[in-house]
Structure 1
Amino acid sequence: MYIAQIQFKYMKSGILLLVMLLVGLGTYAQIEIPRTTNTGGLLKAEPDSKSGFPLLKVEEPEESKYLKNDDPKKIDFRKTNDELITAGDVVEKKWKKDRDIKNSYKEDQYLGDFTTGGKFVELYARDHEYVDGDKVRIIVNGVEIQSITLGGGYHPILVKLESGFNNIEFEALNQGTSGPNTAELKVLDEDGKLVTTKVWNLLTGAKASLIVVKK
């Protein structure tokens, strides 16, 4: 009996020691390990004092040796020679130059006549040389029907025909910036068939006339 009491006493002491040991381990496990937010150095761009945005350094590309020109040619736009004249300028200069005035340009020109059974004819006129503002007045049987400025494209003119002779006249109102007054004329019948193509060269006041006979 006495021995049993001694054994129980030692067993109780061992249990108490084990409990204290376990409590000590739990307390140590709960101690928070120090942490740090410093994960390394950060590169920060310096803000611009004016805009507040970061300043980024842009490296200039290396100059290409093919684009480099140590001695560029200087152009003097005050020169009056032909150094700066292009091929288009040459053509324009050619057309702007006045033609030699011929006596025929001062006289009225007859463009011919033809017969049709239609009620009208379509006329298409354009400046076939340098477009320089040539103007003409269209007169049918003594009555002006319209005035036009000739351009590079064909201008349509509808002429209603009377029975018998119809005299169609084109009077040059000017010679544009380069004389004479020049034009190409195409005439189509009521069916759209091309009847004739004519050209004229007129000085101011001269006329080109065409007669259409309606059957």
Structure 2
Amino acid sequence: MLQQIRTYLVFFILLLFSVSVNAQIDSKKKNVSIPAIENENDTLDASPTTPAKSLGNTGNFGGITIPKSTPNLKMPKKEFSMFGEDFGDPGELYADRLKKQQSSITNKLELGTKGSKVDVFFGNHRTTSKTVQVLYRDYGLEDGDLIRVSVNDEIVEYRVGLINVFRGFTIKLREGVNKIEFLALNEGYALPNTAHFRVLDENKNIIAADMWALSINVKGTVNIIKDPN
């Protein structure tokens, strides 16, 4: 009997506790609105502000004199240049400077051009030989001189470098004039283009020989005239 009363009492306490918890949860879900209270002192003053007084033309503001603006002030128009008018074109300046420096070096080393600036003729030379050997060499410093050799206006050696040893080619002569041309393609690094040439007959006899000192694009010409046998 006592045990049953205790059981009912525990059940009743648990029931009361459950009801209390549910009541607290429901009270947290409810929103409480607080009515706004109007305050007469919080009104916004929307009255227009009084414009500040114009300074007029006095040019004085609190004891500070304001400089007067100059209307229609015209500034001179001038194109901007990084180098200025007094310096000229930078490319031309560099070229002139390089030319002066190169001229100074060639003068100090005595390499200035002394070659002919006009075509040179080495004369007419006669032979009865059927063939001739055309030889050439650089009699000065091996400095990279280049020549082009033509026979009767036909190129035999398009671009050949001159060394200190004779070398060349053999051609068959036609009756009459056989024109041999040496064209200076450059002047090497020790100006001018210098060479020594020889023309030998079939018996190794010298028909013609001479030396040249030519500027670039200048020709040296020798004529070998074949007589009938």
If the length of structure 1 is used for normalisation, what is the TM-score?
0.52
In 1, are the aligned partners of 2:151 and 2:180 still within 8 Å (CA)? Answer: yes
Runs of 4+ aligned structure 1 residues displaced above 6 Å come to none
Which one-letter code corresponds to 1:165 in the other structure? V
In 2, are the aligned partners of 1:122 and 1:188 still within 8 Å (CA)? Answer: yes
The residue number in structure 2 matching 1:183 is 195
Distance 2:166 2:109 in 1: 23
Distance 1:177-1:99 versus aligned 2 partners, 3 A rule: closer
Instruction: Give the CA deviation at 1:157.
Output: 2.1
Distance 2:176 2:134 in 1: 19
The residue number in structure 1 matching 2:205 is 193
Distance 1:197 1:190 in 2: 15
Which one-letter code corresponds to 1:118 in the other structure? S
**1:164 alignment partner, one of 157, 173, 176:** 176
Deviations 1:32-65 (A, max 9, x none): xxxxxxxxxxxxxxxxxxxxxxxxxxxxxxxxxx
Distance 1:124 1:212 in 2: 14
Distance 1:159 1:98 in 2: 38
Which one-letter code corresponds to 2:198 in the other structure? K
**2:128 alignment partner, one of 117, 121, 137:** 117
Structure 1 SS opposite 2:116? helix
**1:108 alignment partner, one of 100, 119, 127:** 119
Instruction: Give the CA deviation at 1:118.
Output: 1.4
Deviations 1:159-183 (A, max 9, x none): 2211111110000011111111000
In 1, are the aligned partners of 2:126 and 2:207 still within 8 Å (CA)? Answer: no
In 2, are the aligned partners of 1:98 and 1:180 still within 8 Å (CA)? Answer: no
% identical aligned pairs: 33
Tell whether 2:138 aligns with 1:135. Answer: no
Distance 1:155-1:172 versus aligned 2 partners, 3 A rule: same
Instruction: Give the CA deviation at 1:98.
Output: 4.9
Distance 1:97-1:167 versus aligned 2 partners, 3 A rule: farther
Distance 1:194-1:130 versus aligned 2 partners, 3 A rule: same
Deviations 1:115-153 (A, max 9, x none): 111121112110000110101000111110113100011
Distance 1:197-1:181 versus aligned 2 partners, 3 A rule: same
Distance 1:97-1:122 versus aligned 2 partners, 3 A rule: farther
Distance 1:98 1:131 in 2: 16
Matched residue count: 121
**Max radius of gyration: which structure?**
2
The residue number in structure 1 matching 2:74 is none
Which one-letter code corresponds to 2:211 in the other structure? V
Matches within 5 A, 1:25-64: none
